[in-house]
Every structure is written in structure tokens, then in C-alpha cells.
Structure 1
Amino acid sequence: MLRISGFSTGLDIDSLVVDLMKAHRIPVDRVKQEKQQVEWQREQYREFSTKLVSLRNEKMFNQINTLTSLAKKAVVTGDQVGTVTATNQATGNPVVLQVDQVATAKKAFGQYTGGVDVKSTTTMSELGIADNSVTVNGTVINFTGTDDVATVLKKISSEAGAGVKATFDTASKSITVTNKETGALALNFSGDLFSTFNVAVDAASGVDAQYWINKDLGGPMVTSNSNKVDYDGYTINVNATGTATITATADTDKIVDTLKSFISDYNEVLTSLNSKLKEERHRKFLPLTEDQKKEMTETDIKLWEEKAKSGLLRNDIILSKAATDMRSATTALFGTGADQIDITSLGIETGQWFEGGKLILKDENKLRQAIEDDLDAVVNLFTARDTSDTSATSQTNGLMRRLTNVMDVALNDLANKAGTSMVSSDISFSFNADSQIGDMLRRLDQRIDNGLDKLVRLENQYYKQFTAMETAINRFNSQSASFAQMFQ
């Protein structure tokens, strides 16, 4: 469209149109501000979604595993026959392990006695080896005449079918070949390489482990090619002969540390939730328009937007329910009848009313004593699982399991409302557009587009009117000039 800008009138038409359009832009700016608030709200939802996923999937998952699988530790008296770990399944009954023989791997050794100064870089051709292959435990390994000793031995060691480790010692000019598995397994090999180095099997190597379990009680003697012993909830890696008595006791320090970590992680999320729910709302601080930002410094913009973002989730229904259910889950009773217990029996309490359900380990000695008295009861209080009851106050689910169920509900609600992820703790994870807020943003975008189209039409209309005015005045001026010439 042709626009004439004040040639006849001397008016600043562009400035006049801008001023006239300001009032008409206000409704569009308000929709843009509403959209910005919704986007900020969605980002804050995602912030809490990631916190809940992290607490559920990463922190509590590891804490549950720690309590269920490492709640006990092994105590070894007598000879130190190996390293011992105890799982939660260890009964604690004494296990007497008598190790008569430790399993060793079959080994072969040989030294070069020829006239070549053998090094790891000496090639097969230099050693006069014509047969460029060897066979180890039935597997053929090929090489070339230009391959050196180090390369050939590396090929032998890396061949899975051979199942050996081959090494070279420069000082003694010797090769050692050792089965990767211990026990009385065969070690067979052939080829010019081994003949050249006079490699032969060490007859004393490659024996099975022999040990007794509770020999005095008529327990069995076991022969095994492995030095790993799994018995009664214990895992023992044998490395010496002798006799040891193994018992299990509660790993009190580990359990206390795990529960302290849980309390800290839980309090961090709950405190953050409570803080957001109580955050002050500054309704006069709306998102800034582009024109407003042009008149402000970056520092002023930042301070303004902090106020504008505050309180967007104040008393939010989803977060309020999550916070309430989390508090209920931690204080509910576990078990039935006379066996009912709760966290107060472990010296754990909720804080003052103004702390919003924060957990406090009030009496660590009480917790330690509870662990020593009944480890299973303590572990179950936190980790017991009943998939048929997903309520926040389930008496058949442990505290951490109840919290998991609470967070599942909250994450599902957040996903439906804001399109956040139920499985990712990545704060940059993309939103799912098929959500309530996603629909809302699409409607706002449509309103903005419609408003902008209307503004363009209105702006063109103003310019059209001013252009018509300019044209009319220009015609009037021309006519006036013509009349003036007629009467001269």
C-alpha cells in the first residue's frame, strides 16, 4: 500500500499512527503477558517434576537398595581366609569355613635359550619362526612374520576362545601362559613359538579349591574350580588357607548414614515445595512488554521479572496435594495390631508446625538401638512393598514405597497439566504439547495472531485515511494556486 507521510500537511504521520496504535496494542500485549505467565508457570512445574523424579528414581531407589541388600555386614574371626560380604539374607548363624586349598590357574612357562637377543620388539622372522600360528586350548591364533613378540602375545591374550593371558619378561627372556579361569582345567598349546621358548606346563599349578563348611557339624567338603563361595547369604572370595568363623550383624553405621541421607533428600524437596506454595504473589508486576524492556536496564529487568515470576504456583492444587500426601506418607503407621510402628519409634520426628512436615533425627541412639534390636522391622518400615495398596497411608507399604506412590500420582498430574516428563530429571527435557497448558498456549497463540492481524489492518486503515487527507489537501493547494494565478 502506498503511504504518503505529511508532504502537504507537514505532519509526522508515522508518529501519529504509532501513537494511535498504542491503545489498540494494549489487548494484544495483555495476551502476550498472559502467555508469558503460563510459560513461566510451566517451567516451574518442570522444576518440581525433575526434583520428584530425582528423589524417586535416583536417590530413594539407591537408598532402598542399600537398606535391602546391604543392611548386614560380615564379622570374621580366626584366620583371614578371604574377603567376606553379607547380604540382608544372611541369617547371622555362625558359619565355620575351613579352607584346605585355594584354587589356582594352570600355568605354563618357558625361557628362550637361542642366540638372538630377544626383546618384546623382536619379530617372529628374527626368531626364525616359520609357522605363523599357534593353537591354544583348541583355538588357532594367526600372526605374521613381521609381528613382534609383544604383538603376538597380545593376540593370544585377546582371543576369547583361548582363555589365557600370555606375557613376556625381557630380563629372563621368558614367556608365561596362564589360564584366565582357576581350577584343574586343562592348558593345551602347540606351535613353533612355544617350542622356540621351551614352554612347558607347571605341574603344580591349576588346582581346585577345597574347603569345608561347618565341618564339625558334619558339613560337606566342597571342591570347586572357583575361589568364590556363596553360602547362607554370604559371599566369600577365598585367597588363603585356614579356618574362619563368619557371622553377620546389622551394619548399623551404613543404615544410619542411609537414613540420614534419605531425611536430607526428603527435606530438601518438601522444603522447596512448601516454599513455592507460600511464595508471595506480586500481581502488579506483570511480564514486561518489548517496549517496556527498551526503557529499562538489564538489572532492572531481572529484578522486575523475579517479582513477576513469584507466586505463580502459590497454593497450587497439584503441589499442595503432593506436599500433604508426602507428610502423611512419612507419619503413617506401618504394620497391624501389636506390631504397628512408625518413625517415632526410631527417634525420627516431624519438625515444628511452621516447618511443614520436615523430618528430624531427634535421637540417633534410639535409631541405632532399634536397628540392633530388630533389623528386619526397621528395614521393612522403609522398604516393604505391597503393589495392591497405593495409598499415601498404606500400612502394608514401607515409608519409601508410600512416598514412591505419592510421587507417581504427582508426576502423572504434572504431566497432564504441564506436559512434564514422568521419568526424566533433566531440567531441559522437552514439554509434551498434549497437555492442559499446551492447549492453553495454543489458544493464546491464536489470540495473539488474530490480534496482530487486526492491528495490521487497523494500521493500514489509519495510513489510508491520512493518505486520503494528504491527497485532498494537496488537491486543494493545487486548486488554490490555480485560482491565484487567474486573478493576478
Structure 2
Amino acid sequence: MAGIRLSGLASGIDTETMIKQLMQAERAPVDRLSQKKQTMTWQRDAYREMNRGLLDLRSAASDMLLSKNYLSKTVTSSNPSVVTVTASAGAPAGSVTIDSVDKLASASSLTISQGTAKLTSKTQLKDSQLVGIDSTTKKINLELQTYAADGSGTPNKVTLQLDETATIDDLVTQINSSKELGLSAVFNELTGKLVLSRQATGKLSEGEGIVWIDKNASALTTPPTRVVKDGNNASYTMGGTQLEQTSNTFVQNGLTVTLNDVTDKQVTLTTNLDTQANFDSIKKFVDKYNDMVDKMNKKVREEKYRDYQPLTDAQRKELSEDEVKKWEEKAMSGVLKNDSYLRDGMNDFRSTLSAKIDTGYTIPSASGPVALSSLSQIGITSTSDFRDGGKIKLDEAKLKEMLEKHPDGVYRLFTADAPAKIKQADGTEIDNPNGLSGFARQIQTFTTNLRDKISNVAGRDGSVATTYRLGKSLADIDKSMLTWEDKLKRKEDSYYRRFAAMEQAMNQANSQSATLAGYLGQG
């Protein structure tokens, strides 16, 4: 019966309830620690939520360093069935004409066959007569060689050694799995022919495209037939000049051109700046920037309800699920109110919108060239309402106009590197006062710095508690709570012992009283 407490039998007092009430008062320090732990946990989680948003913004800023977001081009072909084309950011705007496509590129191939023999992909190599078998090892010893695209240099060599019971299908698999050879092997069961083709197209200037060396060829009753087909270069005419390419897909002046068919008619490729796509890239970044600023601003301005502390376990049991939810929404509110890290971060962000950026780019005006050095010149400013926390206001018409007329300038406003430091007469260096890095680079730097500061306080997802400040504090609270729980256990046991002693004394008194009453009754 160990651990079972029987109380109040002699005194009639509900000692169990009385001890619980006494312990409830004793638990006040533990409840305060638990509430403090919960508040710090909410604070940590809120910080980490900010850090995840900052990481997304930093990734977006890194992507905005790419020229494709400002100089993207659209390109069309007047005859896509003959020529298809895509454009890189570096492709010049304008039109080019391909006068004719005379020949498509093809790959060299080697066909191996054995007369009219009935072969299938499951025919064993010893029965195929396509390759000889070593009488001792019962294996094939086949060396394949392929040359570089221009036929020069040392050939790639691969030796295949398969058992005589391996099938033609096994041989095909071995050839295709060899990256060094760069071959595609196919066995055609209708014709009984094994065809090896180079994956790379083009005509070789010297040497064979594919070399088949069967070192056990003498073991064959009838040597197989080998048919070599040379590869061809693609041939086309531009501006009256005939040109050749080893592949049907090639890059020329920033255009990736694919020849699909021959033609004697002109095909025109027209390249234009894709202003809408470039605008959309910047708009997407601005939206992400505004979303992050909005999240930070709401956390800094969020109302703090000081009368709503985290619920204790006892309080939680007295409330309904809906009441708990509503209470905790207010208790969680304001955990980062007026947070200095977020305030400083928003100030840094705001500073980028008015910073002078050294782009080295000028735009013409009636009074002469004007340096392009401010985001406001391309329609990017901060909103006039200070409660927005420094969100961006976008003049879409102005930005599109600048992307149309000065895409390189817009690109530099976002991506320019900070000017080199200035060396003074005494040899020391100071920051160049004439400009800062581009907008995207500054945001990249500020988000990185802010993430590091927050991580020192709240860690990152999966961080060990001892590596960040709040984690250490939470660990200390856990230790204190364990100490207090041990004290409370001893205190509770002490109360039970005292009440048990009282019950025992009262029980003895009652027994003595009953005995005395018995004696008196006899007299």
C-alpha cells in the first residue's frame, strides 16, 4: 500500500484539498518561471520567423545581382520550323538574317552486323558471331575508341570484358553506361544490326569517329560486317558567307540558335528588350522587400498586453479551448515590441532608398549628362507614411521607361560594387564618400548582418541551446524549475507527514476518550 495516503479519517478535515491549496501558493515561484520560459520561447520563435523572412529576402537580393533581371530579351524566328532561337541578356537588340540552311549536323556511326543470322537482343554473345570469345577465359575482349569532336588528341579508350553467356542487350547496356565513350548503342531486332552512334554531332577532321577493336576476332568463323558513316557539320549562310557548326544548336552573338531543317529561304531572327519581364523581376523583388519590412514593422509596433501573462497549467484547465486560444493571442502579442535589432534593421533598409550609388552611368538631359545615382531617378522611393516603416513606393510608368531607355543604368543601380577606398597622403585608407554599393548589394549586406545579430540572440532552426543567448537563459530556467520542483516535493511530503501526525494524535485522543467513557459508564 506504499504511496497511498489516507487523510482526515480521525479529524474529519479534508487534508488532501488543504495540502493542494497550500502547495498552490508554494508553486507561485515555479509558475512565474514557467511563464517567463513561455514568454522567452515565444520571443525566440518570433525572432526565428524574422530570420527566415530575412533569408528569403537575402536570396532574392542575390538573385537580383544577375543581369537577366534587367536585360532580358525576347527573340522571334520568322520560321520556327526551320530555326528556333532563344536570347541571353547579352544579346544585342536588332535583327539577323540566315539566308539559307544547307545541311544539318549529324553524328558519325558504326554498324555491326552478321549476315542473315537470326539475332535478338537476348542472343548470347558466344552465339552472336558479332564479337569473338577467348577460348581460355570464355570472355570477350572488345576495345572501343572515340575521338574528340574535332578528331584531334588522344582517343578515349574503354575495354569491355563480358562473359560469353552475356547477351547482346548486356553489351548494349555496357556501351551506353560508359560516359568516356559518349556513344549511344541500339540493337535493331528487325535488321539484326548493332548501331553505335556518337552523341556529339559533327564531321571529324581526322581519324574515325568510332573504332571497334575485337582482340578475339580470330575466334570468329565469319567476321561481322562493319559499316562506317561519317558525321556532318551543320552548314548555313549568313550575309553571303557560308558558315559551319559541329552541332545543330550553337551560340552566336548571345543567341542560342537551333537548326531544325534545311531551307533555301531566308529566316529572320528579331531580338527585342523584354521590358515587361524585366519590370516584373524588379516588382517581385520590391514586393518581397515590402513584405519583409511590413513583418518587421508589425512586430515592432505590435501591442503589448501586460495584463495577459502566459497561462499556468492550473489556469489552462479552468478555461475552454477557445478561451485559451484568445488569451494566448494577447499574451504572445508584443514579444518584439520596440525591438532594437528590428528597428535598426528597418533604418538600414530605409537608408538604401536615399543612398547615393556610384553607377558610373549618365543619362542625357537638356542641360547635359546627369549621373544616374539615385533610385528615385527610376521611380523607386519610400512611402510618405512613416507608419509604413520604410516600404517602397513604385512609380511603374517611370521604371518601365527607364528599363526601356537605360536598362544598363538600372542594372548598375541595383548591382554596382562599392567604390574602392581612397588612400590619403599619410597612407591610410578611408571609404570613398562618392558612392555606395547598388541597392541589391546593400540589402544583401544588411540582411546578412541582421540575421547574424538575431541568431546570436535566438539561434536558428535546429541550433543547440548553449550556442545562443536565449537558449542559455531557457536552459538556466529549466535548471531552476527542476530545483524548485524538488523543493516542492519535499515540502508536500512534509505537509503530509504533519497532517498524518495530527491524525495519529487525534486518533489516540479519540481512543483514550472512548476508553475513559467506558470506565465512567461502568461506574
| TM tier relative to shorter chain | 0.7 to 0.9
Q: Find 2:168's aligned residue among 149, 162, 176.
A: 149
Moved more, 166-175 or 99-108: 99-108
The amino acid that maps onto 1:7 is L
Where does residue 121 of structure 2 map in the other structure?
Answer: 120
Kept in 2: contact 1:78–1:244 (CA 8 A)? yes
Note the 1:48-197 alignment, pairs <5 A: 48-57=50-59, 59-65=60-66, 67=68, 71-72=72-73, 84-90=85-91, 103-109=105-111, 113-116=115-118, 118-128=119-129, 130-131=132-133, 132-137=140-145, 138-185=157-204, 186=208, 187-191=210-214
The amino acid that maps onto 1:440 is S
Is 1:357 equivalent to 2:390 in the alignment?
yes
Secondary structure of 2:187's match?
strand
CA shift for structure 1 position 12: 1.9
**CA 1:26–1:306 in structure 2 vs 1: closer, same or farther (change >3 Å)?**
same
Note the 1:240-389 alignment, pairs <5 A: 249-335=272-358, 338-353=370-385, 354-364=387-397, 366-386=398-418
Kept in 1: contact 2:109–2:195 (CA 8 A)? yes
The amino acid that maps onto 1:378 is V
Where does residue 40 of structure 2 map in the other structure?
Answer: 38
Q: Structure 1 segments of 4 or more deviating over 4 A? A: 1-4, 72-103, 208-216, 221-249
Note the 1:437-452 alignment, pairs <5 A: 437-452=470-485
Note the 1:200-215 alignment, pairs <5 A: 200-202=227-229, 205-208=230-233
Secondary structure of 2:110's match?
strand
CA shift for structure 1 position 450: 3.2
Secondary structure of 1:166's match?
strand
Q: Find 2:16's aligned residue among 8, 14, 17.
A: 14
CA shift for structure 1 position 267: 1.7
Q: Find 2:448's aligned residue among 371, 395, 408.
A: 408
CA deviation vs aligned residue, 1:38-90 (integer Å, no higher than 9, x gap): 10111111111011112212x33233325469645567789998555554455
**CA 1:70–1:430 in structure 2 vs 1: closer, same or farther (change >3 Å)?**
farther
**CA 1:80–1:252 in structure 2 vs 1: closer, same or farther (change >3 Å)?**
farther
**Aligned length in residues:** 470
For the residues of structure 2 that align with 1:119 and 1:109, how far apart are their CA atoms?
16
CA deviation vs aligned residue, 1:151-187 (integer Å, no higher than 9, x gap): 3222222223433211123333333211222333422
Moved more, 334-343 or 433-442: 334-343
TM-score normalised to structure 2 length: 0.77
Kept in 2: contact 1:322–1:406 (CA 8 A)? yes
CA shift for structure 1 position 92: 5.9
For the residues of structure 2 that align with 1:139 and 1:396, how far apart are their CA atoms?
56
**CA 1:238–1:384 in structure 2 vs 1: closer, same or farther (change >3 Å)?**
farther
CA shift for structure 1 position 485: 4.5
The amino acid that maps onto 1:261 is K
Kept in 1: contact 2:103–2:236 (CA 8 A)? yes
TM-score normalised to structure 1 length: 0.82
Secondary structure of 2:64's match?
helix
Kept in 2: contact 1:94–1:246 (CA 8 A)? yes
Secondary structure of 2:27's match?
helix
Kept in 1: contact 2:357–2:438 (CA 8 A)? yes
Kept in 2: contact 1:333–1:340 (CA 8 A)? no
The amino acid that maps onto 1:376 is D
Where does residue 473 of structure 1 map in the other structure?
Answer: 506
Is 1:397 equivalent to 2:427 in the alignment?
no
Q: Gaps (5+ residues) in structure 2?
A: 134-139, 146-156, 363-369, 422-430
**CA 1:136–1:326 in structure 2 vs 1: closer, same or farther (change >3 Å)?**
same
Secondary structure of 2:197's match?
strand
**CA 1:71–1:383 in structure 2 vs 1: closer, same or farther (change >3 Å)?**
farther
For the residues of structure 1 that align with 2:82 and 2:420, how far apart are their CA atoms?
46
For the residues of structure 2 that align with 1:184 and 1:434, how far apart are their CA atoms?
62
For the residues of structure 2 that align with 1:253 and 1:196, how far apart are their CA atoms?
65
**CA 1:232–1:311 in structure 2 vs 1: closer, same or farther (change >3 Å)?**
same
Kept in 2: contact 1:4–1:470 (CA 8 A)? no
CA deviation vs aligned residue, 1:360-415 (integer Å, no higher than 9, x gap): 43333x222212222211001112233979x9x99321111111111112111101
**CA 1:387–1:443 in structure 2 vs 1: closer, same or farther (change >3 Å)?**
farther
CA deviation vs aligned residue, 1:138-159 (integer Å, no higher than 9, x gap): 4322333443333322222222
**CA 1:139–1:335 in structure 2 vs 1: closer, same or farther (change >3 Å)?**
closer
Kept in 1: contact 2:94–2:272 (CA 8 A)? no
Note the 1:446-465 alignment, pairs <5 A: 446-465=479-498
The amino acid that maps onto 1:38 is M
CA shift for structure 1 position 279: 1.8
Q: Gaps (5+ residues) in structure 1?
A: 421-427
Where does residue 425 of structure 1 map in the other structure?
Answer: none
Where does residue 154 of structure 2 map in the other structure?
Answer: none
Kept in 2: contact 1:271–1:358 (CA 8 A)? yes
CA deviation vs aligned residue, 1:308-334 (integer Å, no higher than 9, x gap): 111111221111222222222234332
For the residues of structure 2 that align with 1:394 and 1:284, how far apart are their CA atoms?
52
**CA 1:351–1:419 in structure 2 vs 1: closer, same or farther (change >3 Å)?**
same
